[in-house]
Every structure is written in C-alpha cells, then in structure tokens.
Structure 1
Amino acid sequence: MTTTTRDSLRGKARRFVNQLSADVSGLAMVEFAFAAPLVLSMGMLGTDTAMMVITHLQVSQIAMQAADNASRVGEQDVLTARKVFERDIAETLIGVEKLGEDMNFFAQGRVIISSLQRNAQGGQWIAWQRCRGAKVFNSSYGVQGNGATGTGFPGMGVPGRYITASQGTAVIFVEVAYDYDSPLPLELFDGQQIVYTAAYNVRDNRDLTQLYPGGPEARCSTYSAARPT
C-alpha cells in the first residue's frame, strides 16, 4: 500500500470519526434505553404501593361492615328480645362476600365473628363464634367458649385495652385476615398478610341465650371459600 493510499484512508477515517462524534440523531434513543428500566420500575413500585394501600382500606371496611351488620341482625319482633338465627350470620357473611368480590376475598382471606357477652359470674365470655374463608387463620383473641365461667377471661382485643361487654348486652367482635396478591410482576408486597379488627355493641334488646338454629352454620373448623350449607 502506497503512502498516498494510507493518507487517504486515514483522512477518511478522521472525517468519519468527526462526523460520528457530531451526530446526535440517536441520543434520545440511547437515553431512553438507559432510563426506561428505572422509570418503569419506579412506576410499578408506585402502583403496587397504591394497590396495597387500597387493599388495606378494603379489608378495614370489610371488618367494620361485618361488625356493624352482625350487631343489627335478628328477628323483627317488638314484643320480645330480638333472636339471632344462623341464617342472619350467614347473610352477614354473604354481605362480606359481595364487598370483597373484586379481591376474591374468601379464597384468600377469612373473617371471624364473635359474640362477646357476660357470663353468670359477671366475667367476659365468647358465647358463639362463626367463621368463613379458605385462609388458615384463627382468632388471636379467643375461641367460642372462652370465659364461659369465672372472671379469668379479660375480654377481646389488645392487652391493656380490652374490649368488654356490659351486663345485658353483647359486643360483636370481628377479625379479618387477607393475603395480598400483587397484580404486578414486581411483587414487592406479594403474600403480605393484612389483618384488621372491628367491634360494635349490639343495637337492640337482643336474646343472648343462644344463636338460634335455622340456617347454615359457618363453622370455624371449616376453611373454605364456599358458602356454608
């Protein structure tokens, strides 16, 4: 190769390098390639966090609504104390099913409804307890029959701030647990357990002697999303 040819090739190479260094036509594409994963990750993180917050709100509302509804149900008779039947509690649980329909609540969660009352000695007593949901979750505050006699059972709720029932009335105490299922591939909060409680005093003069038969019994020994039969 002659000197002239080498000089010509070097000149072309320098011109190409100069043209390439001045070319900014692909700059935006390169910047996007570097920034897109970060932006998308931050967007998914924000969306997943928002969904988690919304799910917390939904579970909280389910707990409050279930306690409120269970505190109102019963036979409509102005002449006698209102009797509560198994079908009334079953209807309350159907209401929970409707509230949590879009989040597949009973397949991923569980609701526990307890009637906290006074026993014959004046102590606190869980007179009855009904449950529904496929999630394996048991009450953190007691099971049916706790406190049936004596005064050793303090009530339900956080130690030091126990919820108790007054004489002649009852408190409906509800516990709700749900496993969050992230809809996004990031799955930062996937599988996190969300738990809420709520309590309402019964609204009317209620017959506290029993939960009367006359409908499907939502047994706490059953873990299923299906309606009790």
Structure 2
Amino acid sequence: MRLTSPAPTRSRLGRLLRERRGVAMLEFALALPVVLPIGLYAVELCNFGITQLRLSQTTLALADNISRVGVDTTIATQQLREADIGEVIEGLRQQAKNLSLTTNGRITISSLETKNGSQWIHWQRCVGMKSGVGYDSSYGRAGDGGTSGSSFTGMGIGGTKVIAPPNAAVIFVEINYDYQPLISRYFMGERRLHQTASFVVRDNRELATGITNPSPSVGQPLTCDRYSL
C-alpha cells in the first residue's frame, strides 16, 4: 500500500491563502445585497420628490389658468365658458402627460365666492377616474355655504382656510393622485399625493352667471358626478 504525502495538499492550501486575485469581486458580491437596495431606494425617493414638485407646479398652473380665462362681453366683463374649462384641462393633460393625472388621480376645480355674507362654492368641475374618500373634494361641494351663519367658512385645512373677498371669486384647485413608482412599490408603498392651490380671479368676471355654455357648446360638461379621463 502506497501512502501519499500531505505536503502537496498543504502547498496548495498555502497558495490559496496567498491568492489575491478576485478579492474585489468577492467583496462586491458580499456587499451587493446591502448596497443595491439602498441605491434603488435613493433613486425611488428622488423620483418621489420630483413627482411632488411636478404635481405642485401643475396645481398652481391650473388654478392660475382658470382664474384668467374667459370671453369678453359687450359690457366690459368676462364670461367663463365650458369650452374654456375644457381647453385648460386639455393643456393640463399635455403638461403632465407623464404623470397620467386623469388616470391615476382626481382633479377638482371650485369657484369660491360670497353669498348672503357667507362663503359659498358656486360651482365645481372635476376630471379623473379615481373616486371616493381621499379623491373627491375634501373641502366641500358645489352649493355648500351661501347662507347667513353657515358652518362653511372657506376651503382648506383648519385655520389656514382660503376665503373669497366680497364681490370676487377665488379659484381653488385640489388634486389627489396615486404615486406611480419608478422602480417598485416595495420602497415607498402605496402613496396618495395631495396638492391644493388658489388664485383670485383677475378680470371682471360675471359671477352671477357662473359657467355658460354658448356655441360652440360642450355636450358633456365636466361636472363632479362624472368620472372620466
């Protein structure tokens, strides 16, 4: 019987312990399960912040545009038409095309005015497929207020409510939107983003008539009982 010497085995083991090739690859492989999720979370967090900013700017632009649009009348006033609302909404779709606002959220436009010395929501227009609590208006519906001593005192949260000055209107816009992740919902979970903005109507708008629908008329105004794109 021939016995082999353990020397070659010890020699190979020594060479293996002294080997330095592949160390960086091994360290990378060990660190990857920790580094990769942190990096992906950072990317998702940046996307979340950018989406918040875009949604805020979109809300401000919408409120600003609705407060400006209208057609001049013969008595130096402006009338707001259903067609004007539709054009502004179409501009919104183009501005926020990548967000798909009307698919993943709900937009509510309110005309906050005064009536009988009280705050009053004269009219509202809405667009978007989402419905229910958290998507429909959080601050009131068309017709709220308008009576002396009404509990409706404006639109907004707590002591920071927006109120309309006498004989004027404030366009109040509210957008509720389901955040669409860039990578995965694993990092941020289910998030509903909420933005509001308001602007006083600049021109001498005919407030008594509300929204008119002359020719070219709109067949289906964007009333808040409809849920559409």
TM-score, normalised relative to structure 2: 0.91
CA distance in 2, matches of 1:12, 1:176: 75
| Aligned residue in 2 for 1:38 | 34
Question: Once the 2 structures are TM-superposed, how far is the Cα of residue 190 of structure 1 from its aligned partner?
Answer: 4.1
Paired position in structure 1 for 2:144: 146
Q: Which moved more, 1:179-188 or 1:197-206?
A: 179-188
Quote the Cα distance in structure 1 between the aligned partners of 2:21 and 2:58: 56
Render the CA deviation track for 1:32-71: whole Å, top value 9, x for unaligned: 1111222221211111000000000011011101100000
Offset of 1:170 from its aligned partner? 0.2
Query: Which stretch shifts more, 31-40 or 108-117?
Result: 31-40
Q: 1:163 Cα deviation (Å)?
A: 1.1
Contact (CA 8 Å) 2:117, 2:146: kept in 1 or not? no
Q: Is contact 1:44–1:186 with CA below 8 Å preserved after alignment?
A: no
Give the deviation of 1:26 after TM superposition. 2.0
| Correspondence 1:10-49 to 2 at 5 A | 10-49=6-45
Seen in structure 2, the aligned counterparts of structure 1 residues 189 and 16 have a Cα distance that, compared at 3 Å, is same
Query: SS at the partner of 1:118?
Result: strand
* Unmatched segments (≥5 aa) in structure 2: none
Alignment match, 2:165: 166
CA distance in structure 2 between the partners assigned to 1:169 and 1:24 by the alignment: 78
Give the letter aligned to residue 63 of structure 2: A
Identity value in percent: 37
How many positions carry a matched residue from both structures?
220
Q: Structure 1 CA distance, aligned partners of 2:37 and 2:185?
A: 8
- What's the CA shift for 1:77? 3.6
Question: For residues 126-205 of structure 1, what are the structure 2 equivalents within 5 Å?
Answer: 126-136=121-131, 137-152=135-150, 153-185=152-184, 187-205=186-204
Describe the superposition over 1:176-216 as per-residue Cα deviations: whole angstroms up to 9, x where unpaired: 11101112136312430000000000001110012112324
Give the unaligned 5+ runs of structure 1: none
Deviation string 1:134-191 (CA, Å, 9 cap, x unpaired) is: 1221111100000132231201111212211111110000001110111213631243
Residue of structure 1 in register with 2:114 after alignment = 118
RMSD: 1.5
Secondary structure, aligned partner of 1:83: strand
One-letter amino acid of the counterpart of residue 162, structure 1: K
CA distance in structure 1 between the partners assigned to 2:180 and 2:61 by the alignment:
22
Alpha-carbon distance in structure 1 between the residues aligned to 2:125 and 2:185: 36
Query: Residue 48 of structure 2 aligns with which residue?
Result: 52
Whichever residue aligns with residue 204 of structure 1, its letter is: D
Contact 1:113–1:175 at 8 Å: present in 2 too?
yes
Structure number with greater Rg is 1
TM-score norm. by structure 1 comes to 0.91
